[in-house]
C-alpha cells in the first residue's frame, strides 16, 4: 500500500516531468514521476486506509487469513465472506495480503462467474486440479541459483528475512543438486565462480557467506541477472533461479528485456521480501521468467513460504494448459498463454464473450498423462467488477506488447479505449476529481505539490536516503531564518529603562519629602 523508494540507475537528465525526489535519468526516463517523497518516520504515519473485502470464492473454503494485518471475518449471505481490518484503519505503510485456501476435495473444483456489461459478458474461470495421488517419477537433479539483494533498501528486517530464507534453502539441497549464490548491491558477487555440488562442505561455506551479508549500496539488478541467467539450455538438469529482493528498482523495462533475452531454459522465481516489495516488477519478472512470485511479509513466515516454494519447485503439477471455448462464440481471454501450474495453484482465466452457452474444455499434461476437465458455461454465478478485471489483464498484455515491438501510438489508442469504457487508471488515463465548490480564487495560480508516502514498515530511513537526508527539508518548507533575539533585546532594553525610570522617580520623591 505504499511505494518504497526505488533505486534509480543512470545519469541525470536536464529537465523533469514530475515532482519526485529523483531527476529523470538516462536509464529511467520517468524517474521523477515514480519517486514520491518519503516522510521521515519521526513525523508519524499518514494516509490511513480501511479495507473491506467481500469474498465470493466460488468453492468451499478451508480458511481465510491475512499474514500482514489482523482481520475480522464475517458472513454476508450464504456465499460471501466479509473481511475487515481488526483495527478499522491502518497507515498505508505495508502491503495487505489476504490468502484463502479451498477445502480439500478429491473432485476438481471449478468456479465460473460472469457479469454482463454493454453487449459483452465478462467472466472469470477458475479450475483447481485435485491434489496428486502420490509423487510419481524420479526426482530430476536441479541446479539452483540463489540471487540475494543486499542493497540499502533491504536494510532492517528485509535482509534478516532474506538471510533466513537462504539458509533454509541451502539446508534443503541434496548432494546431487548443484547450487550457487549471487549477492548484489552496486556490484554483483557470486559465492563460487560456477555452480557447485551441494556437498556438506560447500553448504557450510555458503551458510557462513550468507551470515556475513549486510545491506547497503545501490540496486544494480541487471548485473546480478546477467550473472544468474546465462542463456544456456540443458536437458539433464532443471535450472531454477530464485531471486530474493524487494524489487525496489525504477528500471523495470530494462530488466524485463534482459530476462527475456537471457532466460534460456532457466526458470525465474521471484521472492518478494519486506513490507512493501515492488509487486509489479516481481510478478512480471516471474511471468517472463516462466516461474512464480512468492510474497513473504514477515520473518516468521520465511520457513513456511520458502518451504512451500521449494516443494513446488520439485515439479509442476500441470503443464501445457489450454482452454477450448465453444464453437461459434467470439472469445477474448487472458492470459494468452497459461503458465505451468504448481501444487495448490488454480488455473485462472478472465474472458470476454458475446454469448454465454456451451462448454469450456480445459486440457493439460499432469504427471506425464493427459488431463481434461469440462465446464458448463450456461449457468454462471453473478459476479461484479469482472469487466474491470478482464480489462486490466487486456491492458497489461497490450503494454507488454510494446516491449515486444508494438507501436506505442497504436497501443496507446487501444489502451485508452478499453480504460475509458471500464473506468481504469492506466499510464494514459487517470481519475479526475471535480470540486463543485471551488475554494481557490479564480485568478490564483495552481500549485503542484507532491504528497509524501510513508516509509514502508521495517525500513530504515537513513539506510535508504543516507544520514544526510535524515530530516528531508525538501518535503516541507524552506529553512526558517530568524531568531527572537531582536525581540528579546528590545523588550529587555525597554524593561531596563522602565526600571531605571521608576527607581529614579521614587528616589527623587523621597529626596523631595526629606527636604520639605
Partner 1 sequence: MHGAGALPRPDRQRLASAAALLFLLVGVWQLGGGLTIHAKARLAQVLVRGAWERTLAGESQAKPWPWADTWPVARLAVPGQDVDLFVLAGANGRTIAFGPGHMFGTALPGEEGNSVIGGHRDTHLRFLRDTKTGTVFHVQRPDGAWRSYRFEAAAVLDAEDLWVARQDGPTRLTLVTCYPFDALRPGGPQRYVAFADAM
Interface residues with partner 1 (CB under 8 A)? 12, 14-16, 21, 23, 447, 468-474, 476-496, 498-500, 502-503, 505-506, 509-510, 513, 516
Q: Cβ closer to partner 1: 17 or 140?
A: 17
| Contact in structure between 347 and 392 (CB atoms under 8 Å) | no
Q: Cβ closer to partner 1: 372 or 470?
A: 470
3-state secondary structure 205-261: HHHHHHHCCCCCCCCCHHHHHHHHCCCCCCCCCEEEEEEEECCCECCHHHHHHHHHH
Q: Cβ closer to partner 1: 102 or 250?
A: 250
Q: How far is the CB of 79 from partner 1 (least distance, A)?
A: 52
The kind and range of the H/E element at 99 are strand 99-102
Return the ∠ at Cα 7 (arms to 32 and 97), rounded to 5°: 100
Q: How far is the CB of 21 from partner 1 (least distance, A)?
A: 7
> At which residue does the C-alpha cell 482452454 appear?
323
Rounded alpha-carbon distances, angstroms, from residue 37 to 40, 64, 247, 457: 9, 35, 18, 16
Grid coordinates standing for 179? 547450487
The number of residues making up the chain comes to 516
| C-alpha to C-alpha distance for 312 and 339, rounded to whole angstroms | 14
Grid coordinates standing for 285? 519478472
Q: Cβ closer to partner 1: 204 or 496?
A: 496
| C-alpha to C-alpha distance for 388 and 482, rounded to whole angstroms | 55
- Burial call 172-190: b when 16+ CB within 10 Å, e when fewer: ebeeebbbbbbbbbeebeb
Q: Cβ closer to partner 1: 16 or 414?
A: 16
Q: Cβ closer to partner 1: 31 or 238?
A: 31
Q: Cβ closer to partner 1: 214 or 491?
A: 491
Q: Cβ closer to partner 1: 37 or 383?
A: 37
Q: Residue 361 in 3-state DSSP?
A: strand
Amino acid at each position: 500500500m505504499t511505494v518504497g523508494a526505488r533505486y534509480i540507475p543512470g545519469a541525470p537528465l536536464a529537465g523533469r516531468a514530475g515532482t519526485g525526489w529523483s531527476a529523470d535519468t538516462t536509464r529511467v526516463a520517468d524517474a521523477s514521476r515514480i519517486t514520491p517523497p518519503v516522510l521521515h518516520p519521526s513525523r508519524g504515519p499518514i494516509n490511513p486506509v480501511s479495507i473491506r473485502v467481500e469474498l465470493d470464492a466460488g468453492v468451499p473454503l478451508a480458511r481465510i487469513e491475512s499474514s500482514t494485518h489482523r482481520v475480522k471475518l464475517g458472513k454476508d449471505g450464504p456465499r460471501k465472506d466479509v473481511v475487515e481490518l481488526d483495527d478499522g484503519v491502518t497507515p498505508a505503510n505495508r502491503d495487505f495480503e489476504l490468502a484463502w485456501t479451498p477445502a480439500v476435495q478429491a473432485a476438481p473444483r471449478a468456479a465460473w462467474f460472469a457479469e454482463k456489461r454493454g453487449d459483452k459478458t465478462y467472466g472469470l474461470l477458475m479450475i483447481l486440479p485435485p491434489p496428486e495421488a502420490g509423487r510419481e517419477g524420479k526426482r530430476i537433479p536441479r541446479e539452483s541459483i540463489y540471487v540475494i539483494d543486499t542493497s540499502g533498501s533491504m536494510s532492517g528486517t528485509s535482509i534478516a528475512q532474506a538471510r533466513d530464507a537462504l539458509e533454509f534453502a541451502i539446508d534443503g539441497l541434496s548432494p546431487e543438486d548443484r547450487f550457487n549464490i549471487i549477492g548484489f548491491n552496486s556490484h554483483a558477487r557470486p559465492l563460487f565462480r560456477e555452480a557447485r555440488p551441494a556437498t556438506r562442505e560447500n553448504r557450510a561455506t555458503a551458510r557462513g557467506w550468507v551470515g556475513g551479508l549486510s545491506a547497503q549500496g545501490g540496486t544494480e539488478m541487471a548485473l546480478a541477472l546477467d550473472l544468474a541467467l546465462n542463456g544456456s539450455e540443458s536437458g539433464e538438469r532443471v535450472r531454477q533461479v530464485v531471486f530474493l529482493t524487494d524489487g525496489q528498482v525504477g528500471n523495470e523495462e530494462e530488466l524485463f528485456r534482459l530476462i527475456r533475452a537471457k532466460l534460456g531454459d532457466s526458470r525465474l522465481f521471484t521472492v518478494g521480501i519486506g513490507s512493501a516489495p515492488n509487486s509489479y516488477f516481481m510478478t512480471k519478472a516471474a511471468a517472463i521468467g516462466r516461474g512464480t512470485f512468492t510474497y513473504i511479509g514477515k520473518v516468521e513466515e520465511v520457513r513456511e513460504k520458502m518451504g512451500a516454494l521449494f516443494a513446488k519447485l520439485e515439479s509442476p503439477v500441470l503443464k501445457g494448459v489450454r482452454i477450448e471455448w465453444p464453437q461459434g462464440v467470439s472469445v477474448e481471454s487472458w492470459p494468452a498463454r497459461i503458465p505451468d501450474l504448481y501444487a495448490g495453484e488454480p488455473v485462472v482465466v478472465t474472458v470476454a464473450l458475446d454469448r454465454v452457452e456451451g462448454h469450456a474444455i480445459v486440457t493439460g499434461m499432469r504427471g506425464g498423462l493427459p488431463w481434461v476437465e469440462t465446464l458448463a458455461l450456461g449457468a454462471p454465478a453473478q459476479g461484479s467488477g469482472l469487466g474491470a478485471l478482464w480489462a486490466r489483464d487486456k491492458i497489461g498484455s497490450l503494454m507488454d506488447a510494446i516491449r515486444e515491438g508494438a507501436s506505442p501510438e497504436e497501443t496507446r489508442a487501444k489502451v485508452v479505449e478499453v480504460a475509458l469504457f471500464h473506468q481504469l487508471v492506466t499510464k494514459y488515463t487517470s481519475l479526475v476529481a471535480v470540486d463543485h465548490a471551488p475554494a481557490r480564487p479564480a485568478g490564483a495560480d495552481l500549485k503542484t505539490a507532491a504528497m509524501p508516502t510513508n516509509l514502508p514498515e521495517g525500513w530504515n530511513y537513513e539506510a535508504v536516503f543516507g544520514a544526510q537526508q535524515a530530516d528531508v527539508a525538501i518535503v516541507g518548507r524552506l529553512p526558517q531564518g530568524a531568531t527572537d533575539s531582536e525581540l528579546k533585546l528590545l523588550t529587555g532594553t525597554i524593561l531596563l529603562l522602565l526600571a531605571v525610570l521608576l527607581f529614579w522617580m521614587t528616589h527623587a520623591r523621597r529626596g523631595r519629602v526629606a527636604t520639605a
